[in-house]
Amino acid sequence: MEKQKLENEVSVWCIISMASIPLVMTLGNSMLIPVLPIFEDKVGITSFQSSMIITSYSLASIFLIPVAGYLSDKFGRKKVLLPSLIITLIGGLIAGFASWKSDAPFTWIIIGRVLQGIGAAGAFPIILPLVGDLYKDDDEKTSSCLGVIETSNTFGKVLSPIIGSLFAAILWFLPFFSIAFFSLISIGLVFFFIKVPKEKEEPKELKEFLHATKKIFKREGKWLFTVFLLGAFLMLILFGILFFLSDSLEKAHELKGIKKGLIMAIPLLILCIASYISGKKIKGSLPLMKKLIMACLIVMSVSVVFVGYAKERLFMLLVVISLVGIAIGALLPTLDAMITENIEKEERGTISSFYSSARFIGVAFGPPIMSILMNDYLNVTYIVSGIIGILILLIVWKCIHSEKKKTNKPQSLKR
């Protein structure tokens, strides 16, 4: 018993090291959103092209995340994490030097962003199964640690507009170089402080892995695809709203630089607090998770409808977006916990990677969709978003069950 307890001990520095990865990955993407108008001016690109700076990062991640998940199951989490962070660092340097030295840097910026996306594919998604590995079958500690990880992710979103605006005010291309610097810090933390548990079983070969994955989706597909759909939708809403808010603060309210970054950070700070509280409260309880998901979907679906109508009144706009942020913030660690606590350890990396891919779909398409629709169809876009949220609520009610079967293995969410 004492030996088991020691095996489940996770150092504070290990948790800090794991939390640094979503922080770095979030800074690497969200930090650029408030300075996209500056990029448009300096590089001579359109609003849609500037949205591609966000989208190119996410598209690269979508397709490679499942590969990274399999590799982490086969070769080990840390052996995938470190090279991925190095690739992210290189991508930041390429985008930074191109912006600094080239007269037409847009293509090289996109190449650098794609490399960062490749690195992101093997970084943040690996953290979710790693938490499960470290805490084994302790659902309460797993939920709590996932809350810290997701809070780090959302805290990165809080810092992003402030840091991005500050760096861009010094040198417009400095945010790209800062991504490389933050990646370097995370590399050091991971190398020295993350101690991965030794595997007792040989990992599956590719053919066996594909067969096992197919079986998982056949057995658990109903609730898994619901969680994937919800994760993609949340990120689509969040990054679409952030892109719109950044544009609106400059054009409708004439706020720029650090002041703009501080204003953007307000709803994101509220999102971060909601994420932290949610991670602490759910404690592995499936009935509570389902109730929380449904309540948050109702709040988000109703609130998001009013975003466009509040466009001209800054205070009301921030209140409405903050309500959306509370709902999203509470949902994210809940979805993380559902994936991590209800999938067996040897399958956890694969399934969490598919979930992370789904989230990146939302990140990828939120900004470009908003750049196309916000001028002529802003209110319609958010009304449709609210309707979709209610439809997903019905899917959650139907497909996610809060009872567990009594078996000797980690449980599914089926009746």
Task: Provide the pLDDT for residue 377.
Answer: 92
CA atoms within 13 Å, Cβ hemisphere of 51 = 23
Distance, in Å, from the CA atom of 217 to the CA atom of 322, rounded to the nearest integer, reads: 35
User: What are the tokens at 259?
Assistant: 């002041």
Distance, in Å, from the CA atom of 151 to the CA atom of 149, rounded to the nearest integer, reads: 5
Domain 2-195+203-399 has CATH 1.20.1250.20: yes
Distances (CA, A) of 341 to 81, 267, 283, 290, 292: 21, 29, 10, 14, 17
Kindly calculate the radius of gyration of the chain based on its CA atoms and give it in whole angstroms.
21
Task: Provide the pLDDT for residue 288.
Answer: 84
Q: Is 415 helix (H, G, I), strand (E, B) or coil?
A: coil
Task: Provide the pLDDT for residue 96.
Answer: 94
Distance, in Å, from the CA atom of 312 to the CA atom of 221, rounded to the nearest integer, reads: 43
Q: Is 158 exposed, middle or buried (0-12, 13-18, 19+ CB in 10 A)?
A: buried
Task: Provide the pLDDT for residue 414.
Answer: 44
Task: Provide the pLDDT for residue 2.
Answer: 42
Distance, in Å, from the CA atom of 333 to the CA atom of 147, rounded to the nearest integer, reads: 5
Q: Which of 113, 389, 378, 352 is nearest to 236 (CA)?
A: 389
Q: Which of 251, 273, 263 is nearest to 374 (CA)?
A: 251
Distance, in Å, from the CA atom of 159 to the CA atom of 238, rounded to the nearest integer, reads: 16
Judge contact between 93 and 180, C-beta under 8 A.
yes
CA atoms within 13 Å, Cβ hemisphere of 174 = 10
Helix axes 12-30, 124-135, angle to 10 degrees: 160
Task: Provide the pLDDT for residue 345.
Answer: 66
Instruction: Give the pLDDT of the chain (415 residues) as one tens digit per residue.
Output: 444 444 456 788 888 999 898 888 888 888 898 888 889 899 999 989 999 998 998 888 888 888 887 788 778 888 899 999 999 999 999 999 999 999 889 999 999 999 998 998 888 778 877 887 787 767 677 777 877 887 787 788 888 889 998 999 899 999 999 999 999 999 999 999 888 776 656 666 777 777 877 888 888 888 899 999 999 999 999 999 999 998 899 888 988 888 999 999 999 899 989 988 887 777 667 888 889 999 999 999 999 999 999 999 999 999 999 999 999 999 988 898 888 777 776 667 678 778 888 988 998 899 999 989 988 899 999 999 999 999 999 999 998 876 654 333 434 454 3
Task: Provide the pLDDT for residue 407.
Answer: 37
Q: Is 343 helix (H, G, I), strand (E, B) or coil?
A: coil
